[in-house]
Amino acid sequence: MADSSFDIVSKVDPMELDNAVNQAQREIETRFDFKGVGAEIEKKSDKVNLAASSEERVKAVLDVLESKLIKRGISLKSLEVGKPFASGKEYRIETTVKSGISSEHAKEISKIIREEGPKSVKPQIQGDELRVSSKSRDDLQATMQLIKGKDLPVDVQFINFR
């Protein structure tokens, strides 16, 4: 019998990210407490830049963005938020959307699987994702439950279950 496998990845759906940013922009344009503070959200590929006239307002803009990301099913673990900094007359926050599993996080997940998972399961790091294989599909599903139950520093999804 051939080995069954699945991949552990960390990806953000770009359309969902666009929708969340657009919803946050619309809310900022219509909310009364953001009138006249120059609040704006700008998305450039995997970066989302926030700006407002004061540090408190830019943090409020970040709060609106985070709430929209959660509603769209995007984990906040996928968002790397910088510190607010002054830029001319406004304050800015630069955020980066993380994609892929870094090698140290992949090693950490692999170690968890080897130590706590079923013995027939074999994790293998492949670039920015992890392939997990076993002869038993039940063991693979038990491994998925194990990974879901852990509080990992990255948001993970399971794809290509074969």
Give the Cα separation of 82 and 49 in Å (integer): 10
Per-residue DSSP letters for 28-90? HHH-GGGTTTT-EEEEETTEEEEEESSHHHHHHHHHHHHHHHHHTT--GGGEEE---EEETTE
pLDDT for 67-90, tens place per residue?
999 999 999 999 999 999 998 889
pLDDT at 93 over 90: yes
pLDDT at 32 over 80: yes
pLDDT of residue 91: 93
The model's pTM is 0.85
pLDDT of residue 19: 95
Domains and CATH numbers, the chain: 4-11+101-159 (3.30.70.860), 14-97 (3.30.70.990)
Query: How far does CA 155 lie from the centroid of its chain?
Result: 5
pLDDT at 2 over 80: no
